[in-house]
């Protein structure tokens, strides 16, 4: 934890909290209570069985993750 101060407001402290991202990921992946909440691959979710309307809710439902996944597989 650190405090930052800026020149335009020298008396106001801004507290910064951080964690090692690798340790945070290990903590998430190592917690069995979270196993059903983690997603490791992209998913396409549709509003109807006809698949005319796509639903975007989380990072893994977005177009970006699909594009990156396709690009990664193309390089192997």
The predicted-structure confidence for 1-30, as pLDDT tens digits, reads as follows 899 999 999 999 999 998 999 999 999 999
Domain ranges of the chain: 2-74
Q: Confirm if 4 and 14 have CB atoms less than 8 A apart.
A: yes
User: What is the value of pTM for the model shown?
Assistant: 0.47
- Whether the per-residue pLDDT at 68 is higher than 90: the answer is no
Q: How far apart are CA 51 and CA 56, in angstroms?
A: 13
- Whether the per-residue pLDDT at 42 is higher than 60: the answer is yes
């Amino acid at each position: 934890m650190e405090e930052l101060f800026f020149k335009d407001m020298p008396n106001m402290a801004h507290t910064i909290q951080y964690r090692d991202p690798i340790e945070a990921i290990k903590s998430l992946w190592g917690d069995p209570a979270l196993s059903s909440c983690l997603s490791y691959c992209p998913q396409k979710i549709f509003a109807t069985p006809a698949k005319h309307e796509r639903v975007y809710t989380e990072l893994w439902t977005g177009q970006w993750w699909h594009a990156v996944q396709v690009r990664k597989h193309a390089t192997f």
